[in-house]
Amino acid sequence: MELELRFFATFREAVGTKTVSREVADGAAVGDVLRELEASYEGLEGQLIEDGDLRPQINVLKNGREVLHMEGMATTLEDGDTLSVFPPVAGGSGE
């Protein structure tokens, strides 16, 4: 099945583009895709997964909905889904 992957901020820099179409196995879960991404892009290695779970402050959205409010890393994906990956957002000093 084919997914559209969208990357933002520093993750976009690591991948080299904002959007990637990627073929994944039928029945793949979010965790499967994130592990593949870490293995495929040197700049993402260790940036998405920590201790087998989504790293803190990382936001991953399936079709615009946060996967943490679904089944997290076990959220299943379907053909045509869009997975958006956002790095932690650094805040300003507020001054």
pLDDT per residue as tens digits for the range 48-92:
999 999 999 999 999 999 999 999 999 999 999 999 999 987 555
Q: What global pTM score does this model have?
A: 0.91
Whole-angstrom distance, CA of residue 78 vs CA of residue 74: 13
Burial class (CB in 10 A: 0-12, 13-18, 19+), 18: exposed
Q: Cβ of 62: how many Cβ atoms within 10 Å?
A: 21
35: left (phi over 0), alpha (psi -120 to 50) or beta: alpha
**Token reading at 2:** 């084919």
